[in-house]
Structure 1
Amino acid sequence: MSNMIHIDEKWLYINPETRRFNLLPKEEDPYRCQQSRRFKIKAMFIGIIGKPLYDAQGHLIHDGKYDIFPFVFQQMAKKKSKNRDAGTLETKPIQNINREAIRDMLLNNVIPAIVSKWPANMPKDVVIQWDNARPHQIPQDEEFIAATRQGGFNIRIVFQPAQSPDLNVLDLGLFRVIQSL
């Protein structure tokens, strides 16, 4: 289990009506626009976590925390509003998470985060465990295979067995805590 990394994605919903803020006495209430009461602001995040690693003396080598990345894109604002000028760069969530979005996230964020934070004295055979969701298809193109082999790494992706929520570490811990906040 020392070379096992868990990744999973989760839609997180933000409800402005029930959101609480801790403000200083002189701070103004934050402005939150909402299209309608039925419209909920949501964003998808992918989390990467592994087992904490210790040496023989019990000292922490690696904490197992890699990162959490949002599925977002940036575009220029087309119109002026009271929040921003026209032409201002704004960040928007990707609403349709498909194979291409997953592939881009793996290539540009997940694999580089694992390679950069992996302990140097550990073997570079890494297994990524993932759930069996429909858009989770392992890319087989040459660019992706080269990314999993860069720097002497051997990164493999395996799927957890169907109907086994007890193996999904991120849903059981991290995402429940974030959603409750």
Structure 2
Amino acid sequence: MFLVAIGRPRFDAEGKITFSGKIGIFPFVTKEPTKRSSGNRAAGTLETKAMTSVTRDKVRSNLINDMVPTIIKKWSREDAYLLIIVRQDNAITPIDPNDRELVLT
């Protein structure tokens, strides 16, 4: 499962793109050490695995720790005063829009 962030592209007065609208794709994965060695890797090597269950807390953590900082980093300086609204389409575990930690980020 992935959390994808996109936005509306922004253009300057000359029609040049100042913000492409592409923010990022944030996968829900964990890194676990392997238990046994094989011909491809030694025991203890970190292996990336997909999360089997994504809960509201994991989605919230991903929003606050990964997505929002990336949006702020890519956001143009001219639009810095604008409010950033996160819309959660098809979300099974939607995060409350008035979540105190998310609003203060």
TM-score category of the 2 structures, normalised to the smaller one: 0.7 to 0.9
The CA deviation at 1:131 is 1.8
The CA deviation at 1:136 is 1.3
Match of 2:37 in 1: 80
Checking the alignment, whether the CA contact within 8 Å between 1:103 and 1:139 is kept in structure 2 is no
TM-score by length of 1: 0.53
Distance 1:75 1:61 in 2: 39
Q: Could you list the runs of 5+ residues in structure 2 that have no partner in the other structure? A: none
Q: Could you list the runs of 5+ residues in structure 1 that have no partner in the other structure? A: 1-43, 148-181
Distance 1:143 1:102 in 2: 13
| Rg comparison, structure with higher value | 1
Distance 2:60 2:9 in 1: 27
Match of 1:102 in 2: 59
TM-score by length of 2: 0.86
Match of 2:70 in 1: 113
After superposition, the CA RMSD in angstroms is 1.8
When residues 139 and 76 of structure 1 are mapped into structure 2, their CA distance, relative to the original with a 3 A threshold, is: farther
Aligned length: 104
Equivalent residue in structure 2 for 1:55, among 1, 5, 12: 12
Distance 1:119 1:48 in 2: 16
Distance 1:126 1:86 in 2: 44
1:130 corresponds to 2:95:
no
Distance 1:124 1:137 in 2: 21
Moved over 2 A (4+): 137-146
Q: Percent identity?
A: 38
When residues 144 and 52 of structure 1 are mapped into structure 2, their CA distance, relative to the original with a 3 A threshold, is: closer
